[in-house]
Amino acid sequence: MQKIVECVPNFSEGKNISVIKKIAAAGKIKGVKILDIEWDKSHNRSLVTVVGSPSFVFDSVFSMIKIATKLINMEKHVGEHPRIGATDVVPFIPVSGISIKECVALSRKLGKKVAKELKIPVYLYESSATKKERVNLADVRKGQYEGLKKEIQTNPQRKPDFGLAKMHPTAGAIVIGARKFLVAYNVNLNTKNIEIAKKIAHKIREKNGGLKAVKALGFLVNGYAQISMNLVDYEQTNFDKVYEEIEKEAVIMKVKIKNSEIYGMIPLSSVVSAIKETFKAEGFKEDQILEKRLYE
């Protein structure tokens, strides 16, 4: 079986379309497919989904990181989404014929190369983490760019896995790792009160005793309160279940859901599962859904 890996590097740029296109273009090399490019101005963040054989994906992602390092200045970056670097986080995800262990090895290889050649401090997370306190991405990004810039040189606990304990002057730091598929899902409320979004996010996330495998934060995006989530194991909690739970909390707080959105690509099985569960569709099969066309 051919080894196929997916990688979804996230970049701290969601406003300058020219920069986003240049970063994505650097990743369009022989042997990979760019499946998706998405960006958000309020979060000031973008992501590129690339798939292919491990070695080609490795080269593609490094090329994108290299360009992002040249074009993004973290000293000037402002956005709603937590971040510590120009290329903020780089997860490798096994698709077929490859194990999570092999993805961990790939992530560590990339980490060493980034630290050595680009002089960017690298932190490993999720399955690649070398310390239990670095498994959770939120813990690695604690204090964000501004906080880490101070602590990386003074706090031994914030020493990177690769590279010097010193931020790159413009590109900051980077988090690299290996994980399972996740669903990035946002729910927007018909209110401008960000405190409501924060309260609902606090209630539903696993960390506070809420839904399993759900990470959530409250933001103000395009003038409306938003609950931004990462569903790190959709087989435990899928996006339809999260929507239902938020709807219940919204009623209690006397607001309504304005709309919701899936950010980036998601596994087809997640959509099929949601349709089966929500609409009680018996005998429903994956081949009844047209998959999203590959980005050309």
- pLDDT tens series, the chain, 296 aa: 799 999 999 999 999 999 999 999 999 999 999 999 999 999 999 999 999 999 999 999 999 999 999 999 999 999 999 999 999 999 999 999 999 999 999 999 999 999 999 999 999 999 999 999 999 999 999 999 999 999 999 999 999 999 999 999 999 999 999 999 989 999 999 999 999 999 999 999 999 999 999 999 999 998 999 999 999 999 999 999 999 999 999 999 999 999 999 988 888 888 888 888 776 766 655 554 444 333 33
Task: Report d(CA 205, CA 232) in Å as an integer.
Answer: 11
Domains of the chain and any CATH numbers: 4-178 (3.30.990.10), 183-288 (3.30.70.670)
Q: Tell me which amino acid residue 34 is.
A: I
Q: Give the active site residue among 43, 77, 81, 168.
A: 81
Both structure tokens of 202: 């606090």
* CA distances to 18, 29, 34, 174 from 25, in Å: 10, 8, 9, 20
For residue 82, the tally of other CB atoms under 10 A from its CB is 19
**List of residues 6+ apart from 162 with CB closer than 8 A:** 111, 112, 114, 115, 116, 121, 122, 124
DSSP state of 103: H
∠ Cα 140 124 107 (to 5°): 145
Both structure tokens of 23: 């970063």
Q: What is the pTM of this model?
A: 0.84
Both structure tokens of 210: 């809420």
Task: Report d(CA 125, CA 272) in Å as an integer.
Answer: 29
State the pLDDT at residue 271. Answer: 86
DSSP H or E segment with residue 200: helix 194-204
State the pLDDT at residue 295. Answer: 32
State the pLDDT at residue 284. Answer: 55
CA 214 to chain centre: 13
∠ Cα 229 230 232 (to 5°): 150
185 burial (CB, 10 Å; 0-12 / 13-18 / 19+) is buried
Question: In this structure, what are the phi and psi dihedrals at residue 25, rounded to the nearest 5 degrees?
Answer: -60, -35
Active site residue 81: yes
DSSP H or E segment with residue 52: strand 45-52
State the pLDDT at residue 269. Answer: 85
